[in-house]
Structure 1
Amino acid sequence: MPASFWEHEPVRHALAERHLGRVIRAYRYHPYHGRNPLPQTVVAGWLGITQAQLSRVESGLPLVHLDRLAHWASLLRIPASRLWFALPRKFPVVAERPTITPEEGGATNRRQFHAVAALTGIQATGCLDLLAPPADLPPTVGMEQVRYASSLVDEFRQADAAVGADALCDIAMQVHKRLSAWAAKAAYSRSVGDALQSALADLAIQAAWLAIDADRRTEARPFLNEAIARARIADDSRVEVRAFACMSLLLREKQPGEAVHCAEAALRASAGWATPRLSTLLHLRAAYAHATLRDMHGFEQEMTRARRAFDGGTHEDDLPFISFVTAQEVTGIQGLSYLALDRPDRAAECFRSVTGTPSAAHRRNQVYYTVQLARAASRQGDVGEAARVGIRALPEVGRVRSGRVSGLLAEVRSDIAVAGRSALEVREFVEAYDRALS
């Protein structure tokens, strides 16, 4: 976290009171995380305790056990200078990270960007410096710059597959912000303007997806709202459909009714030109949203349509982002829908099918559905199976660097640690998880 995070009054007050439980509560409710606080279940998973235990920690007496204080302070990356106790040598000392903006520390920020870009393969040395001061950016935009902005979407997608959304989310948002600010001030022709609107919309969608996968969902919606507006300005239905598809993904758990509407809007906008794979994806989005609404008829109807569309095969006009729509993905979404419908037995069957035929090209999805298999087993009450699958997934979860996947595995750890405390397999998983987290 930046240094300004720890200057927030509720956090400073809790630290001054020397009450780590209140520090954790202030941490969860910090505006840095968006309008919604971090759920207790998520933070409890990080700390290796249950939601009920965290609730008692936040509202009860101050903790005094040094090992637990040090362990939790280390997990939350609280700077040592802010703590009222000394960290034992076995715990890493976290220094404060300064807040750097392009205006205040452009050179440092650019070096950081180029370091990450080199790691991930992004062509940061293209036709403009993405983090240059505003005065250094060209006063006009041509098709060369538009093509470069468009190419960044593919490069972020490839980098995401290599290093995960957690490493890329902030940098994609920063690049989008800088390009948007530049485009708002620069001059360009009508034809360039339409292409530029489409390119910036595509980049906004990519930033939104990275935010979703990094488990920073509250930050994703403004990007998607912007993408839809830009796509309509450019009269680009393909980008608009992609934005609606991503919006349906974002909303499907907490606002499933709106997620259905987004999927239906995408289906209407793509009528007449959608390829079979795109139609499959949109029907899958609608199917999962119906399942979350406990609408079994709507779910079955949309799943039937998705499988029928999938039988149409691939097409030369398939959009680049659609490559993940495979037979495994169709079955995986069916499994997620069964979980939403409280059918963990049927969900587990689907996830076993997906993980039994791994795809090297879509490693993150394989890890995601492996963790979902552990969740389904836990929901069935089979904590031994959940622990075995969790141990199998643990090394890969550390490699894909997806906050969404990490959060789900934390949920599994929290659930089975309580339900199967005495089982050897559960203890082995919990210990392995805690070691990896530390």
Structure 2
Amino acid sequence: MTPANCPRCGARLARDNDSGRCAPCQAAERHRLSVPPEVPASFWSHPPLRAALVERHLGRVIRAYRHHPYHGRAALPQAVVASWLGITQAQLSRVENGPPLVHLDRLSHWAALLRVPEVQLWFSLPSRTLTMQTGQISVEVPKDEPPTIDVPAVVPITLEAAPDEGGGTTDRRRFTALAALAGLAGNSLLDTLAKADRKADAIGMEHIRLAGSLVERFRQADAALGADELCDVAMGIHTHLSAWAAASQYGRGLGEALQSALADLANQVAWLAVDADRRQQARPYLNDAITRARIADDPREEVRALACLSLLTREDHPAESLHCAEAALRASRGWATPRLRTLLRLRAAHAYAHLNDVGGFNREMTKARHEFDHGLHEDDLPFLQFVTAQELTGIQGLSFLALGKPTRAAESFRAISSGPHAAHRRNQVHYTVRLAEAEYRSGDVQSAALTGLQVLPAVKGLCSGRTMRHFAQVKQHLGREQSNPARTFVEAYSRVFQR
């Protein structure tokens, strides 16, 4: 095979292709930023990898893995691989260049995460796993062992539609299932953590992996369901792990990774509070995230917290919202990817709209679209997955509502409804509810009622407090109308949510 061929599929590369990968392979591997990619068996026959495995030095194995030609001409960044392993970039550098690792739990976890063939290893991996069904969530646990704090890094999660019964209240069986997605058994989650932390007074990598895996699981469940049934679980876990960390002992290097992991968890809890429409509870978690990010010298978590703070304050305090977006742009200068800059420009644009500054809104929206056109980047942070073309159109619609232009807002929201994004169902439902709001505000009562009827089952199954609040406002306004479509919607709403 010549250098002019794609190392992944063997296809001939175009003369102007300097990435080392053909376009289909680049597209197929974009998800590698959040999880390690699937690699062929021949991957492990690459001489540098074979040499590192013979040396029994996992750090050098990881380095050879990152520089494998399978990934293209540019090596995988240390920051990306470090995020898979639940450590910082600086820690990964020390692992790659320092003495061989000797801790079996870390060796086996990282080897399994990277899918190193067991026959190539100089140690044995843990026993195979079976699947434990808890409610509607599938959680992998070690065979013949109860769930413990040392949870698997990747857990398959199946989220089904909401049960028919229960109206707007939390179904206990489903709440227990959602608690299980944390990797622990049902509603004994905090008891299991409490028993575990009484066994040792020192923080280890397994605890940091727990915090990191929780964030990803909450993110997956939230994207499908909304935050109402996750918020209390996440808050309890954050409180428990924070108290545990404060009372435990750990070295400086491990402490930085721990603070970053807790900042990430605090940011996720804050977002869940926002989506559950528990806005007053969100701010303390954002303050906690900013503090921990500064202790860990982790600007990425600080910028994420500022972006969420801009979202939190944009309706009641739009000037503060704008200041937070601008502060995040300054803090991320020099390392922000186009997708992150897109999000921050959208935050600023929406704040300008609430300030009734049309010029500022148009300027920031133009910059946001320009950044978005640069496409994905290998250093995109996992939480940016929701920043899609749908999100740009949605924020444009929300901004038109804030500017008192409901007809233009409805046009934006209809564009989203006509081309739904399957991976972001929660946002799809939210923007459809806002379409109904834009329609009644523009005087089109019949369309608002029909849109409300169409989205009613999805809102019921979403469990998002902020979406439910806006939907209740739609019902309140249509309840004042005497037309048949409006009455039909109000009656249907009452049957579903008020029985």
Give the TM-score normalised by the residue count of structure 2: 0.63
Q: Is the 8 A contact 2:190 2:236 kept in 1?
A: no
Is 1:200 aligned with 2:262?
Answer: yes
Paired residues for 1:10-409 under 5 Å: 115-118=177-180, 121-124=181-184, 131-132=193-194, 136=198, 138-409=200-471
Counterpart of 1:426 in structure 2 is 486
**What is the CA deviation profile of residues 260-298 of structure 1, one whole-angstrom value per residue up to 9, with x for unaligned ones?**
011111111111111111110000000000100101111
1:216 to 1:390, Cα distance in 2 relative to 1, 3 A? same
Q: Is the 8 A contact 1:169 1:210 kept in 2?
A: yes
**Structure 1 residue 341 displacement after superposition:** 0.3
Extract unaligned runs of 5+ from structure 1: 1-91, 93-108
Q: Is the 8 A contact 2:224 2:424 kept in 1?
A: no
**Structure 1 residue 233 displacement after superposition:** 0.7
**Structure 1 residue 161 displacement after superposition:** 2.5
**Structure 1: distance between partners of 2:354 and 2:447:** 25
**Structure 1 residue 381 displacement after superposition:** 1.3
Higher relative contact order (CA 8 A, sep 6+): 1
**Structure 1 residue 393 displacement after superposition:** 0.8
Counterpart of 1:73 in structure 2 is none
**Structure 1 residue 191 displacement after superposition:** 0.5
**Structure 2: distance between partners of 1:241 and 1:362:** 23
Pairwise CA RMSD: 2.1
Q: Which amino acid aligns with 2:397?
A: G
Q: Which amino acid aligns with 2:446?
A: G
Counterpart of 2:107 in structure 1 is none
Q: Is the 8 A contact 2:190 2:240 kept in 1?
A: no
Q: Which amino acid aligns with 2:264?
A: D
**What is the CA deviation profile of residues 2-51 of structure 1, one whole-angstrom value per residue up to 9, with x for unaligned ones?**
xxxxxxxxxxxxxxxxxxxxxxxxxxxxxxxxxxxxxxxxxxxxxxxxxx
1:377 to 1:255, Cα distance in 2 relative to 1, 3 A? same
Q: Which amino acid aligns with 2:301?
A: V
**Structure 2: distance between partners of 1:222 and 1:286:** 22
Q: Which amino acid aligns with 1:251?
A: T
Q: Is the 8 A contact 2:310 2:325 kept in 1?
A: yes
Q: Is the 8 A contact 1:292 1:341 kept in 2?
A: yes
1:142 to 1:288, Cα distance in 2 relative to 1, 3 A? same
**Structure 2: distance between partners of 1:242 and 1:301:** 22
**Structure 1 residue 113 displacement after superposition:** 7.9
Q: Which amino acid aligns with 1:264?
A: E
**What is the CA deviation profile of residues 161-196 of structure 1, one whole-angstrom value per residue up to 9, with x for unaligned ones?**
233211100000000000000000000000011111
Q: Is the 8 A contact 2:225 2:464 kept in 1?
A: no
Q: Alignment partner of 2:271: what SS?
A: helix
**Structure 2: distance between partners of 1:137 and 1:390:** 53
Larger Rg: 2
**Structure 2: distance between partners of 1:399 and 1:278:** 30
**Structure 1 residue 114 displacement after superposition:** 6.0
**Structure 1 residue 128 displacement after superposition:** 9.6
Counterpart of 1:410 in structure 2 is 472
**Structure 1 residue 122 displacement after superposition:** 2.6
Q: Is the 8 A contact 2:479 2:490 kept in 1?
A: yes
**What is the CA deviation profile of residues 28-85 of structure 1, one whole-angstrom value per residue up to 9, with x for unaligned ones?**
xxxxxxxxxxxxxxxxxxxxxxxxxxxxxxxxxxxxxxxxxxxxxxxxxxxxxxxxxx
**Structure 1 residue 117 displacement after superposition:** 2.7
Q: Is the 8 A contact 1:134 1:182 kept in 2?
A: no
**Structure 1 residue 229 displacement after superposition:** 0.7
Q: Is the 8 A contact 1:284 1:306 kept in 2?
A: yes
**Structure 1 residue 116 displacement after superposition:** 3.2
**Structure 1 residue 396 displacement after superposition:** 0.3
Is 1:436 aligned with 2:436?
Answer: no
**Structure 2: distance between partners of 1:130 and 1:238:** 31
Q: Which amino acid aligns with 1:203?
A: L
Q: Is the 8 A contact 1:137 1:182 kept in 2?
A: no
Q: Which has the larger displacement, 383-392 or 127-136? A: 127-136
**Structure 2: distance between partners of 1:138 and 1:171:** 24
**Structure 1 residue 363 displacement after superposition:** 0.5
**Structure 2: distance between partners of 1:135 and 1:302:** 48
Q: Alignment partner of 2:456: what SS?
A: helix
**Structure 1: distance between partners of 2:358 and 2:457:** 36
**Structure 2: distance between partners of 1:213 and 1:415:** 23
1:275 to 1:312, Cα distance in 2 relative to 1, 3 A? same
**Structure 1 residue 159 displacement after superposition:** 1.8
Q: Which has the higher helix share?
A: 1
Count how many residue pairs are aligned between Structure 1 and Structure 2: 326
Q: Is the 8 A contact 2:293 2:301 kept in 1?
A: yes
**Structure 2: distance between partners of 1:359 and 1:213:** 19
1:128 to 1:223, Cα distance in 2 relative to 1, 3 A? closer
**Structure 1 residue 338 displacement after superposition:** 0.5
Counterpart of 2:77 in structure 1 is none
Q: Alignment partner of 2:194: what SS?
A: coil
Q: Alignment partner of 1:165: what SS?
A: coil
**Structure 2: distance between partners of 1:175 and 1:163:** 19
**What is the CA deviation profile of residues 244-267 of structure 1, one whole-angstrom value per residue up to 9, with x for unaligned ones?**
111111111101100001111111
**Structure 2: distance between partners of 1:137 and 1:210:** 31
**Structure 1 residue 124 displacement after superposition:** 2.1
**Structure 1 residue 129 displacement after superposition:** 6.2
